[in-house]
Amino acid sequence: MDLTHLYERAKKAGRGLLQWPVERVNEVLRAVADEAVARTEYILAENARDLARMSPDNPLYDRLKLTAERIQGIASDTRHVAELPSPLGRVLKHTVLPNGLDLKRVSVPFGVIGVIYEARPNVTFDVFSLCLKAGSACVLKGGRDADCSNRAIVEVIHGVLERFGMNPDTLTLLPADREATASLLQARGYVDLLIPRGGRSLIDYVRDNARIPVIETGAGVCHTYFDAGGDLRKGTAIVNNAKTRRVSVCNALDSLLVHESRLADLPALCAPLAESRVRIYADAPALAALDGHYPADLLEAAMDEHYGTEFMDYKMAVRTVASLDEALAHIARFGSGHSECIVTEDAEAAARFQQMVDAACVYVNAPTSFTDGAQFGLGAEIGISTQKLHARGPMALEEITTYKWLVRGDGQVRPK
Amino acid sequence: MDLTHLYERAKKAGRGLLQWPVERVNEVLRAVADEAVARTEYILAENARDLARMSPDNPLYDRLKLTAERIQGIASDTRHVAELPSPLGRVLKHTVLPNGLDLKRVSVPFGVIGVIYEARPNVTFDVFSLCLKAGSACVLKGGRDADCSNRAIVEVIHGVLERFGMNPDTLTLLPADREATASLLQARGYVDLLIPRGGRSLIDYVRDNARIPVIETGAGVCHTYFDAGGDLRKGTAIVNNAKTRRVSVCNALDSLLVHESRLADLPALCAPLAESRVRIYADAPALAALDGHYPADLLEAAMDEHYGTEFMDYKMAVRTVASLDEALAHIARFGSGHSECIVTEDAEAAARFQQMVDAACVYVNAPTSFTDGAQFGLGAEIGISTQKLHARGPMALEEITTYKWLVRGDGQVRPK
């Protein structure tokens, strides 16, 4: 499928955005928020057509469903993006060289950002408003399940863009099929950055086939290590929050590592999990320690495959380690580079854990559930990067900008 | 070819570097410099074996050839890297959130950096010292033409690493064949960043086939626009320096754009180029302006293919434009996003040029020949990025680091 004409138009729209002052962009965002609310009935009617094609038993149903209240929430998020400081025009470095050349490294838009996502129509609003605020046009490829909702949302946004005289190609929604995904991966020279949001297989497919720069988001196999020097009260709260706050998110706890000297504390550490009916897969020493203290119907011997699994469910693996180094080796082997935590009062152990763990977010005495753009004070989030290039961990407005070097001289030349 | 065992060892070495204090790393670098000089005879003997297999007429011959003086230069560069400030451990952001969480974004090593390059043995020293200073192990794939030289250099460096008790897998040289390149592109989970240095076809192949993050370096199709408000004296110096300082580098001028109102100044603007025997491909108005003022044997009518060509030679295209906007459109169409320049005394035109040109380095009244890590005061250079992700323009030590978020709490949990 040749969608080049769409990419060309998006590129032109992205270029046009360079001349829009941030105040006007914020006005557009506020108007989009107002219009989303004003057109609630229309959006819900189109959403109902999508819902009619999905069984309410499908776990995706709830993510697909919009309500008047959810549209209020979306509008409020969009207004919030309008209030955030602009990520553009920041002077990241400024030097005057001995020869008088004035050198500035300044944040600028990418140009065109592509996002591939699944059945969540709210993402259409989110991605549009973050990309626009970051000065880029966006090319979206949504899920087929949400296509009526997405088309309605895009129509509503386009109406606002036209009213403000902004090029409607600032927001492009591709056809909701696999051919469009394949085409987007090849949009070299048009799409400057591609962010896939979705399941493992989508992200793997995108990374392996893209000819344009990609930021991987996604899988979080997250560990919490209860160290020899861990405080039991803090540990109990941290483990419970990391595991049960929301099990379906990437920052949720998957494997608890416990120092062998603290096995006697394991029942207390895990006690609150029983209330949420968390199934525990424990190695032999941990199993022995929990036996009789944790509901027997929720307790199983761990198999190899439980380590390194992102459960996305009320399930957790437990492994006993003999030392901090063994915990570090386990995390290096099974972690996905997302979020890892140590519970300890031992400053040296904490420092070594933060130094040695290679992950986007490394916690001491706080649960991995905090890994989130809004929680980190970034004001928003377009995804959580699990790669090391460009952005790591929660990505918000700054992370979806690039920079250029602005050099001013007065006729200086470089010696031979 | 399965080279996984080599990547595993490199990964382990990279992990080990996390515990090396920067002062010790600098000692290693200085010792490598000393040893390179001490082993000059051996390195030159191995280099002679490579040279014996190449015709002296081959344009690569000079790049391949080492001399005692060049080794002195390499040693001096290596000592210089030891003197540079460490790019690691910089606190890029620091916030204490209202809930008391202490959040730091800190620069850290990538882990393992892969570099693919062609017949320049000095790159082996350069890349090793920059990667080591940036805390990463490196996996190098050099050109077959330079293989004896590269093996000798690696042997010399390994000797120093062993003496200091540093894991020799900190520097891995792969076999000099295509299978090794293909394997490196698939080293997912081991190699965190891949930088191809070389010709267009190598870079295209790497980008299209890599399953690991890549930073593209390379092609520079660079423009200089002599605006209606350009100063002729500055313009003449800038054009001559950008075109003739070194024609074989990516920052060299390829196309001169001239405002139609300044065609009468074109002969003076191009006059110094005749001394370097620069061949000019000019459009009709420029050709008419130059006729009789520039050596006839160096003057030709421009063909379409001359625009957008990286000449790497004493050749330059000239095009006449009716406005700044026409110059911007030409650059948007034919530029490669490397380095672009405007010569003007008109502040408004300069500002608009810097705002609208989408390139790594955008110059006002200074030649594109300044695009270079050392010239930019970065202290070194591992390549010039022509992509927008992660690093843009000259890349030095900071650009080959990533970051992680270090979060410290005291048992806080995230509300539901």
What are the pLDDT digits (tens) for A252-269?
Answer: 999 999 999 999 999 999
Would you call B12 an interface residue with chain A, using a CB distance cutoff of 8 Å?
Answer: no
pLDDT, averaged per 10 consecutive residues of chain B (416 residues), comes to 94 96 98 98 98 91 94 95 97 95 98 92 94 98 96 98 98 95 95 91 90 89 98 98 93 97 98 97 98 97 95 96 98 95 98 97 98 90 92 96 98 93
* Contact flag B110-A367 (C-beta cutoff 8 Å): no
Would you call B104 an interface residue with chain A, using a CB distance cutoff of 8 Å?
Answer: no
Distance (Å, rounded) from C-alpha B181 to C-alpha B207?
12
What's the residue count for chain B?
Answer: 416
Which residues from chain A sit within 8 angstroms of residue B194, using beta carbons?
none
Closest-CA distance of chain A to residue B52, Å: 31
Residue A55 has pLDDT above 80, yes or no: yes
Question: How large is the average pLDDT for residues A312-327?
Answer: 97
* Contact flag A414-B245 (C-beta cutoff 8 Å): yes
Express each pLDDT in A268-292 by its tens digit.
999 999 999 999 999 999 999 999 9
Distance (Å, rounded) from C-alpha A252 to C-alpha B97?
21
- Percent with pLDDT over 90 in chain A: 91
Which residues from chain B sit within 8 angstroms of residue A233, using beta carbons?
411
Express each pLDDT in A214-235 by its tens digit.
999 878 899 999 999 999 999 9
The tokens for B313 are 């030679």
Which residues from chain A sit within 8 angstroms of residue B332, using beta carbons?
15
B86: left (phi over 0), alpha (psi -120 to 50) or beta: beta
Which residues from chain A sit within 8 angstroms of residue B375, using beta carbons?
97, 414
Instruction: Report the pLDDT value the prediction gives residue A380, as an integer from 0 to 100.
Output: 83
Residue A275 makes CB contacts below 8 A (sequence gap 6+) with none
Instruction: Report the pLDDT value the prediction gives residue A63, as an integer from 0 to 100.
Output: 87
* Contact flag B389-A213 (C-beta cutoff 8 Å): yes
Instruction: Report the pLDDT value the prediction gives residue A60, as an integer from 0 to 100.
Output: 85
* Contact flag A388-B367 (C-beta cutoff 8 Å): no
Residue A313 has pLDDT above 80, yes or no: yes
H helix or E strand, kind and range, residue A35: helix A22-38
Is there a contact between A227 and A239 (Cβ–Cβ < 8 Å)? Answer: no
Domains and CATH numbers, chain A: 4-216+387-407 (3.40.605.10), 222-370 (3.40.309.10)
Compute the mean pLDDT over every residue in chain A, rounded to the nearest whole number. 96
Beta bridge partners of A363: A341, B407
Which residues from chain B sit within 8 angstroms of residue A19, using beta carbons?
355-356
Nearest-CB residue to B97 (from A95, A367, A377): A377
* Contact flag B411-A97 (C-beta cutoff 8 Å): no
Question: How large is the average pLDDT for residues A342-357?
Answer: 98
Chain A / chain B CB contacts < 8 angstroms: 195
Strand extents, DSSP E, B333-400:
339-343, 361-364, 383-385, 393-395
Would you call B333 an interface residue with chain A, using a CB distance cutoff of 8 Å?
Answer: no
Which residues from chain A sit within 8 angstroms of residue B365, using beta carbons?
408-411
Distance (Å, rounded) from C-alpha B356 to C-alpha B350?
10
The b-or-e profile of A295-322 (16+ CB within 10 A means b, else e) is: eeebbeebeeebbebbbbebbbbbbbbe
CA distances from B134 to A111, B117, B377 (A): 30, 19, 17
Which residues from chain B sit within 8 angstroms of residue A360, using beta carbons?
404-405
Q: How far is CA B244 from the centre of its chain?
A: 19
Helices B232-244 and B266-275: angle between axes, nearest 10 degrees: 30
Would you call A358 an interface residue with chain B, using a CB distance cutoff of 8 Å?
Answer: yes
Would you call A416 an interface residue with chain B, using a CB distance cutoff of 8 Å?
Answer: yes
Nearest-CB residue to A237 (from B111, B238, B411): B411
Question: How large is the average pLDDT for residues A122-140?
Answer: 96
Would you call B241 an interface residue with chain A, using a CB distance cutoff of 8 Å?
Answer: yes
Beta bridge partners of B107: B403
* Contact flag A101-B370 (C-beta cutoff 8 Å): yes
- Percent with pLDDT over 70 in chain A: 100
Would you call B20 an interface residue with chain A, using a CB distance cutoff of 8 Å?
Answer: no
Residue A407 has pLDDT above 90, yes or no: yes
ipTM score here?
A: 0.94
